[in-house]
Structure 1
């Protein structure tokens, strides 16, 4: 007898399974557990279909730039063969270098070159594809080598570190003369003219680069003023930080730093409005067009304007403050390192370090900006920003360790009070801007929430 009454039908869902006779099945029997393998046969790793997309390692960049096709073809085995041939020729023959001291030095350089070749071929791509992703892989490799060298030096005492620097340059290892730039501070045209030197150009070029990295007027201005305040605060330790007031605020901030920042921001504005149309090298006709295409390979593929929004949220505020502190530490570290390791300001190692920080900071800041503004794409901290933070932190550790007993003068009371006041402002501002409004919204929500009685 079939159950077709409305009372019985209401007990079950319209989608409940029924058998052939129309009666409802309350529970289906459990299906047997499938046998391992494929159709009962075991599957081995070498049986996998290598044409499936899950078996391929996709590059970090979603879109490869193939405007010059040859340079984007995989040449890993060719590079390996060329590198091994070059290593074997230099290492086993006497035509280039004789055995002994020269080859010991070149052996160290060859180890560095081998690491950079591996970096160029096997490291993950960064955020930039111009002039080529491989270039930025080499930059990351250089940064990693510098970080490893810092980690090694961190475990040495100061005298041992100075002695090791002589292996790289025999002219090092001699104490530096004390330099003070605040001896004649009369505000006269002659004194200002005498203070203009090659370092003024270095100031302008440095701030041109910082503007390209940070891409924000206010960011650059705050960092410029903060660095001058840091020089005031630390001149009891480093004599070359002692400058005339007009050297700090007129020559440095208002002239050199402003000119560099202005030129850098104008370059950013040009790249922002520039129309990017990329054609392949083969599609370019004529010598002039092909030459222009080669030079444009060293320009940005596209350009992103940075809007940090430091007061928009607590995350943006903390990010901006941390980035300012990192840049300030990156500016101050070379002054302490060259003083402790006895290197002149124009030494090639100092210049290479400054140039390296610029190249490493370009992709690092780009990764950081994407991390805080588009967390759906950037689910983790980028490799460039991670390594830049590690490098600057390791420099700070080495400076703190080697500075013991080197700077006996105590921190002036006025400097201690000024920095305590500044730190208090940095803490009180987010409390008033974000903490108190959040607490008010929380309390207002609790007060207006209706209370429910327990059943």
Structure 2
């Protein structure tokens, strides 16, 4: 039996508000359905806004710009079967190599090759897709192998490390003759001409690569001058750092380094303004067009101009200083490593290390730039950046460990004070640029807050 309305009124609280309109309000389930469309107008799928990136679904071939479709298809099981077949044939038969020392060496090479095959298939893609994402996975795999080798050598003493290098090259393991390039420093055309050698070309090519990596004139100039100052500071440890003044500032900085930087920055400007229109291999007609398409596969798919804004914020300043310090350490490390491990400057291992650092630094700096300029999308450090930092840090640890007792000459007092002044300037600048204005704004806001008087 339903209670009467008078009984309902008696159940209400005396303070409960009552309104006659509540009785006439329709229930939520009885609310009329909204008219379809937008403001009464029908909306079709082809009316959607396609300007936002999340509304576009690009096919894999279009996103990766595949010129030869076969090389972009997943062939993981095929690669696994081929690798196992090759390993089984070489390891279990006598047709290729006999048992003994040759197969032990081949076993080490096979281990490296197996790891690189895994890196090609299973590692994540980096920021570059040219000439192929698998190429940059191989670069990452080689960097990781080098890092693991450095970690192993880090636990060895210097003599053991030198003897282990003879396993890779029997010609190593012999002390290097000391070289000094500051014997005849008279500034004459003949002396300058005699100082020009293959290393001048190496300087030019090296700074061409640094310009492609950093894409900033100021960065290259600061690094160029800082490296020459580092040579002045460390020539008491490495005699080959002792050079004539005109060798430092004329041949190195103003000619070789400037020429490489200038050509590299011009290349960056060309790639920056170039119009990129890619066509597939099948869409190209004629042998000439197909050949041109194959060669353009080794050019950048697109090009990003770097604007570091080193003085825009404290984060940008710290990142720029750390980047320059890492590059300077990467430049100085091979000089110490080849001196400690007794390797000539033109040894293939030294050249391979320099080329490897260049290839690893290309995607690493791109990842770092994305990390500091777009932190919302890039939530963690890129894999190339992380591994490159780990490699340079491990090299520094090995140099510090092996240098004990090797360099007897103390650091000159004037060099110590010079680096101390430089470090103080690097610390005082952010304090004046970012710390003091932040403190003033904080004090200004604090002084504007209303004070509550005591009752």
TM-score (norm 2): 0.88
Q: How does 1:2-401 map to 2 (within 5 A)?
A: 8-9=17-18, 63-401=63-401
CA, structure 1 residues 11+311, in 2 after alignment: closer, same or farther (shift >3 Å)? farther
The separation in 1 between residues aligned to 2:166 and 2:313, in whole angstroms, is 49
- Contact 1:65–1:72 (CA<8 Å) still a contact in 2? no
CA offsets 1:305-326 (integer angstroms, 9 cap, x no match) = 0001101100000000000000
Structure 1 window deviating more from structure 2 (82-91 vs 158-167): it is 82-91
CA deviations over 1:35-76 (Å, ceiling 9, x no partner): xxxxxxxxxxxxxxxxxxxxxxxx999943334322111010
2:301, 2:203 → 1: CA distance? Answer: 28
Q: CA deviation at 1:164?
A: 0.2
Is the 8 Å Cα contact of residues 224 and 253 (structure 1) preserved in structure 2? yes
Going from structure 1 to structure 2, the CA distance change for 1:307 and 1:13 (only over 3 Å counts) comes to farther
State the SS of the aligned residue for 2:64.
Answer: coil
3-state SS of 2:17 partner = helix
Contact 1:60 1:125 in 2 (8 A): no
8 Å contact from structure 2 (residues 180, 242) kept in 1: yes
Deviation at 1:161, TM superposition (A): 0.2
Q: Tell me, what secondary structure is at the counterpart of 2:304?
A: coil
Q: Find the aligned partners of 1:95 and 1:418 in 2 and give their Cα distance.
A: 64
CA contact (8 A) 1:124 1:137 kept: yes
Residue 454 of structure 1: CA displacement?
A: 7.8
C-alpha separation in 2, matches of 1:317 and 1:19: 57
Q: Which stretches in structure 1 are left out of the alignment for 5+ residues?
A: 21-58
SS state of the match for residue 309, structure 2? Answer: coil
Q: Distance in 2 between matches of 1:410 and 1:106?
A: 45
- Paired with 1:378 and 1:360, the residues of 2 have a C-alpha distance of 19
Find the aligned partners of 2:302 and 2:316 in 1 and give their Cα distance. Answer: 24
Mark the CA change 1:226 to 1:88 in structure 2 (over 3 Å): closer, same or farther: same
C-alpha distance in 1, partners of 2:22/2:353? 73
CA distance in 1, matches of 2:227, 2:114: 38
- Give the whole-Å Cα distance in 1 for the aligned partners of 2:404 and 2:62: 49
For the structure 1 residues 13 and 344, does the alpha-carbon distance in structure 2 shift closer, same or farther, using more than 3 Å as the test?
farther
Q: Deviation of residue 377 (structure 1)? A: 1.2
CA–CA separation in structure 1 for the residues paired with 2:27 and 2:452: 44
CA–CA distance in structure 2, aligned partners of residues 82 and 336 of structure 1: 42
Q: 1:255 to 1:218 in 2, by over 3 A?
A: same
Give 1:12 deviation, angstroms. Answer: 12
Per the alignment, residue 440 of structure 2 pairs with 440
Deviation at 1:343, TM superposition (A): 0.2
> 1:183 is paired with a residue of what secondary structure?
coil
- The residue aligned with 2:411 is 411
- Structure 1 residue aligned with 2:420: 420
Measured in 1, the distance between the counterparts of 2:357 and 2:26 equals: 69
Q: CA deviation at 1:211?
A: 0.3
Contact 1:143 1:360 survives alignment (8 Å): yes
| C-alpha distance after superposition, 1:119-145 (max 9, x if no partner) | 000001110000011100010000000
CA contact (8 A) 1:61 1:127 kept: no
CA shift for structure 1 position 229: 0.2
C-alpha spacing 1:388/1:12, structure 2 compared with 1 (3 Å)? farther
- Name the count of aligned residue pairs: 416
TM-score, structure 1 normalization: 0.88
- Counterparts in 2 of 1:75 and 1:11: CA distance versus 1, 3 Å: farther
For 1:266 and 1:124, how far apart are their aligned partners in 2?
A: 32
Instruction: Give the 3-state SS of the residue equivalent to 1:8 in structure 2.
Output: coil
Matched residue of 2:186: which SS?
A: coil
Which stretches of structure 1, 4 residues or more, deviate above 6 A after TM superposition?
Answer: 4-7, 10-14, 16-20, 59-62
Taking the aligned partners of 2:241 and 2:18, their CA distance within structure 1 comes to 90
**Distance in 2 of aligned mates of 1:108 and 1:67:** 35
Contact 2:162 2:342 in 1 (8 A): yes
What is the Cα deviation at residue 451 of structure 1? 2.3
CA contact under 8 A between 2:130 and 2:298: conserved in structure 1? Answer: yes
**Any unmatched runs of 5+ in structure 2?**
30-58
SS of aligned partner of 2:175: coil
1:307 partner SS: coil
